Amino acid sequence: METSKPTSYEFLIEDWIDMARITNGPPTPLPQWTWHPEYSDSATLVGGGGVLPGLGQPSVPGSSFTNSVQPHFENVFKTEPDDSRHLQDLKLSSIPLDVKLHDPMTISTAFQPAPLDPSLPIPDIVLTTSDAVVFYVNQKILLKASQNCFNGLLPVISLEETERVRNLPDVHSSELNIILHILYQIDPSKFNPQLPFVASAIDKLPRFGYKPSFLITSESPVYKFLQFRAPLYPLYIYCLCGRHDLYELAVSISSHLLPLNLMSLTDEDAESMRSLYLARLFRLHRTRVSMLIQSLMPPPSLHNPTKKCGFEEQNALSSAWTLTTAYLSWSAKPGSSL
């Protein structure tokens, strides 16, 4: 007589073992680890085989594995040829707690543990970015102009190295590099940063409590960097000026906006530069032509007749002057050259 298969509630432990086809037999002995009797400054574990917990390195039966107090990370870090160098002999305590050891990390060339410029203050904190780049900076410089203590991340009072690391998960290294150059008042041109990264870095300044119009003045290096690129990207830089009220920079680059066709402006451009700077741009184009017409009208006044220039010649010149001015009022553009 056939019996139906038992339900899951009717299975016995023996049934589960049989269904899973797990062979019963003597249990495999676990490896036994013992401390080496001659313990000095390193822990020596001796065992019969397996993987050391937390280290991920297999051991050979009968061999020993020495875990030094200061581990080495030869294969952890990679070298960036442009703006970073290889991290060597980095202490474990200087690595952020939330960064895994298998993640490659690099260190900024401009902001190293030892400042390249002896006039700069000694770094006392570490900043890490979303792409695992390490920046050694001085927190007094970061706190000097910040109105929200660097987004609440500073100051750092603890003397523990692990407590002196601040991770910025939503900031790219190219952006933080520009932010620090602005705060340190260092020229970023030698790294040839891309303009979108510079604009993005300036857009992030208010998040950390900085007012861009206070930091970016006619004497600052980043001001000259943007001014130098204005002939190629006038509208892009003007929109940046409008977002952060960089009035001095906007005035200095306004001449490059004269050839711009205002009909080509998009809604995104208008929203980016804000209403005030949009109105200033329209006023610049409108008053440019009107000021030209005002300077040409009225025509030169008549003078006493001479043998070479009588009233008829003067009237003919006045009529031609008026016609030319009327033509310019219709055809002249803000970017036209006369």
- Could you give the 3-state DSSP secondary structure of residue 182? helix
Evaluate whether residue 78 is within a structural domain. yes
**DSSP code, position 171:** -
Give the pair of three-digit tokens for residue 55: 């280290």
91 domain residue, yes or no: yes
pLDDT confidence of 338, banded at 50, 70, 90? low
> What average pLDDT does range 60-69 have in this prediction?
37
- Confidence class for position 17, pLDDT limits 50, 70, 90: very low
Q: pLDDT digit string (tens) for 247-296?
A: 999 999 999 999 999 999 999 999 999 999 999 999 999 888 788 788 88
* Model pLDDT for residues 117-156, shown as the tens digit of each residue: 888 999 999 999 999 999 999 999 999 999 999 999 999 9
Domain that holds residue 309: 235-338
One domain, residues 302 and 263: yes
What tokens does 163 get? Answer: 């407590």
Number of domains within the chain:
2
For residue 334, name the pLDDT band (cuts at 50, 70, 90): confident
100 lies in a domain?
Answer: yes
pLDDT at 6: 52
Closest residue by Cα to residue 191 from 111, 134, 122: 111
Whether residues 247 and 299 share a domain: the answer is: yes
Does residue 186 sit in the same domain as residue 257?
Answer: no
> Same domain for 146 and 191?
yes
* Look-up of token digits 């706190």: 143
Considering the chain, what is the average pLDDT of its residues? 76
Q: Is residue 7 part of a domain?
A: no
Domain boundary among 142, 176, 210: 210
